[in-house]
Structure 1
Amino acid sequence: MHIDAFQTLADPTRRRVLDALRRGEQPVNDLVAAVGIHQSGISRHLRILHEAGFVTVRPDGQRRLYSLQPEPFRAIEDWLARYRQVWEARLDRFGAALEARQRQSNEERDEP
């Protein structure tokens, strides 16, 4: 089963799992406590995250430790970079409009 990175991240619970894993490698029980859902739910979300390449699992005796993998995040960043110039240009125009409005407001205040 191959899941698109955006489909994977569309689920808010999976985003909470990823947020919890930002603190470093963790066992399932710690993720259960951090995310606040049952172990079976965490396991299901971890399976999906693992299949999508967002997490890796390392056996440690009886436990399985999960940690983030950077590659899918880089792929998302690369995808977003193609659109960054679109919103940066819009933000630049917005900033210029705000500055023009601020100058106009200051000039109107300074008039006698």
Structure 2
Amino acid sequence: MRKVFLSKWNAKANKINGSSAEAKQVNRNLDIIKNKVYEVYQRLRENDNEITAVKIKDEFFGKNIDDHKILKILKIIIQECKNWLEKIIPLEHCSATIQPKST
């Protein structure tokens, strides 16, 4: 966590005043964070009815991965693996295919 002298902080612009290398770096980092938070907000807006500060924070810090998202990610990974294997070993050369276990 960085600390900034109050005399250097521009509250209206939400940035550090000045053109020093440190001020430019901090302001650049603040812009990056602001853009990432906005991206999270947009993603939640598209997929969720209720948007809260807690949801934005959890998504920003990667704490908002639920079972549905994990399952979706795993399905994508499995499909990519199947596609990759089919390029290496065409299905017509296989005597059996992998099938999910039925319960």
Q: Same fold (TM over 0.5)?
A: no
TM-score (norm 1): 0.30
Task: Say which one has the larger Rg.
Answer: 2
Higher helix share: 1
- TM-score, normalised relative to structure 2: 0.32
Larger relative contact order (C-alpha < 8 A, sep ≥ 6)? Answer: 1
